[in-house]
Amino acid sequence: MRARVNASHLERQAYVYVRQSTAAQVLHHAESTHRQYALAERAEALGWSRESIRIIDDDLGQSGASTEGRLGFARLVDDVAHGRVGAVLAVEVSRLARSSQDWLRLLSLCAVAETVVIDENVIYDPADRDDKLLLDIKGTMSEAELHWLGLRLVGALKSKARRGELHISAPTGYVWAEHQLAFDPDEAIQRAVRLVLERFSVEPSGGAVVRWARQTGLSFPTVRWSADGAREVEWKPLSLSRLYSVLHNPTYAGVYTYGRRPCRKTLVDGEIRKIRSSGGDPEQWEVRLDNAHPAYISWETYVSNQRKLRDNWLARGHSTPGAPRKGDALLAGLVLCGRCGVRMDVHYGSAGRRQPYYLCRSNEDRTLKKCWTVPASPIDAAIEQLFLETMVPEELELSLAVEREVLTQSAAVDQQWKLRIERAEYEARRAERRYKAVDPDNRVVARTLEREWEEALCELERAKQQRQRAKSEKRLELSAEDRQRIRQLASDLPKVWSASSTPQADRKAMLALVIEAISLTPIDIPQRSTRVRVAWKSGAVTELDVPRPDRRERLRTPPESRRRLSELAAAGLRDEEIAERLNAAGLRTGRGQPWTVHAVRWARRHEGIERKAPDAPRMQPLPDRDSKGRYSVSGTAQRFAVGHDTVRRWIRQGLVQASSEPYDDRHPGRRVWWLTIDDDAAARLSELAQCARTRSARRRRRQ
């Protein structure tokens, strides 16, 4: 066997490849790892020096089923391909690869590069046909062995899962009791889960549930189990990811599942990748047992929640309306193009105007021109009026229903606070008992237990204060005045709609409750308008036309501003005075901007309004020097024979002492610069002026 290792092999390095499939094997199967590291001694016995032996153990804890994520194996193959490796040492073929494709590629490279493969007993030459055949067979058996192991292990898991006896990880709110899941005996955990699931049926989106939980101070539990069976419950503010993990889990609907997110192989950029499915289709779950354990919600509610989550997901080109957001466009997600039927997007103007538009992008991929665009404000106003006229609820029934819902939610949140206080009281009593049970003379332990008792008492007091604050600020207890206000608001929908305290997202949620979709179609003959078709969820359809003026007409000065501007101009006011009066009256231009002198002048010319005021007095030019001996900008430029821009640059750069002062009392808005130039400043500025003139002369010569 020594004859197979020649001088050519010894001139290159020997690579010892070390790998274990999982981190648990690395920790608990240390003997296998020790055998692999011991191959370095075998390489040294075969003639390699200690310095020429490299150990690659980057892949400890990585599976050999593929090369994905195995940086050590990738480096080994690269070095073999570049002729830097004389021998590859591994205890067996399965350490190097469990895939025939990866194994055969490595053998092909070793055969061409004249690299030998060495295990604990034999030295193989991949260039030799007999050795190559033996190595091929070992690689095939290693890959098949992985498949057989998977059939035995995964098959046993699936068999147990089909009976519902496989212990899956119990989600928060459940514990394992004998052979099935059961409700967590902690009542506070149960109520927290129920409260969140019930709130999602009321709120329009998951983000709204998280905001409500933070406003009411609601915490959500996270249960962690240790290896010895002990568990730790941590209460933290509800996050969006935590909420989604609860909503997407069918266990809360009483369904036992296994294999909800199977892996499949697919081609990505010409390479084979493993993709894990989202698990949203119940038909693809490997195991599904309905009514396997007590449920927090019904299966129908779970399916409805998934549909609601899918509808709240909004992306360009997606067919779902999306969750209500706080943008100004009232009908975002509900508007469909009457021409091509796709869902229209919302586009906001520049940062200064922020005027919303509904636009259809169906032709954007094929042509440079979009399908069509329409301003959102007239459409929103028409739908808002139609909604308020159509929604005429029974006042008494609605007010009582709203009051019952508010009372139910308030009672549920308050009960959660009570359970939290009970838990804090238990922890305080437990810490007290532990402190009193210790020997007082054992101060090392007594000090620690005393500190824990004090911390428990502080936590109890903090929970009580937070509950009182929530009762007063978040209205967990409704007074008679609160109930009266609820009845008044429930009977007056327009007042609730137009209230400044009503967020735009809530208005959108109200519309989404009763409107299925809104179709917009442009009409050009006999006059420009938008045909609006409202499809209600009751099945009824309402049709109306909304005027659609062109851009020139839309940006024209509003009638009230035009009338007021004409009156002020006829009264003999100048343009700057007219702008001040219009802004004081809260009037705006056709673009919705405050009035300026230029805007007044433009509006007068386009509306044909004559100006009666005389011209403003012209400002007299500044003298070269004032009474204090200071120079003006023009005086400084004349003294040093430079331009005004050069003087202003000196001022900006701080090269000369200058002060900005009002021009005179008649022109308070105009400010001028006065420069103080002493002998030192004059010498410095003369030198700068000479440099500026020299640079200017050079530029002229180059031109």
Mind telling me the catalytic residues? 21
Cα separation, 575 vs 600, in Å, equals 6
* Residue located via tokens 């050069």: 646
Q: How far is CA 142 from CA 77, 203, 442, 504, in A?
A: 19, 55, 62, 63
**Do the beta carbons of residue 143 and residue 100 sit within 8 Å?**
yes
Partners of residue 85 on adjacent β-strands? 13
* Residue 138 exposed, middle or buried by CB count within 10 Å (0-12, 13-18, 19+): middle
Per-residue buried b or exposed e for 106-116, using 16+ beta carbons within 10 Å of the residue's own CB:
bbebbbebbbb
Nearest to 674 by CA among 688, 689, 662: 662
At 492, which helix (H) or strand (E)? none
Q: Which residues contact 674 (CB under 8 A, 6 or more apart)?
A: 626, 628, 630, 631, 632, 658, 659, 661
* Residue 230 exposed, middle or buried by CB count within 10 Å (0-12, 13-18, 19+): exposed
* Residue located via tokens 């009845």: 487
* Residue 224 exposed, middle or buried by CB count within 10 Å (0-12, 13-18, 19+): exposed
Cα-based angle 139, 140, 142 (whole degrees, multiple of 5):
65
For 426-444, give the DSSP string.
HHHHHHHHHHHHS-TT-HH
**Do the beta carbons of residue 69 and residue 61 sit within 8 Å?**
no
Cα separation, 130 vs 124, in Å, equals 9
**Do the beta carbons of residue 39 and residue 91 sit within 8 Å?**
yes
Structure tokens at 273: 């990748």
**Do the beta carbons of residue 415 and residue 191 sit within 8 Å?**
yes
Cα separation, 36 vs 14, in Å, equals 14
Give the alpha-carbon dihedral of 330, 331, 337, 342, to 10 degrees: 130
Q: Which residues contact 322 (CB under 8 A, 6 or more apart)?
A: 311, 312, 313, 314, 332, 333
Cα separation, 573 vs 611, in Å, equals 8
Phi and psi for 179 in degrees, rounded to 5?
-110, 15
Cα separation, 542 vs 575, in Å, equals 48
**Do the beta carbons of residue 402 and residue 410 sit within 8 Å?**
no
The three-state (H, E, C) secondary structure of 140-174, written as one string = HHHHHHHHHHHHHHHHHHHHHHHCCCCCCCCCCCE
Cα separation, 102 vs 66, in Å, equals 7
Cα separation, 424 vs 428, in Å, equals 6
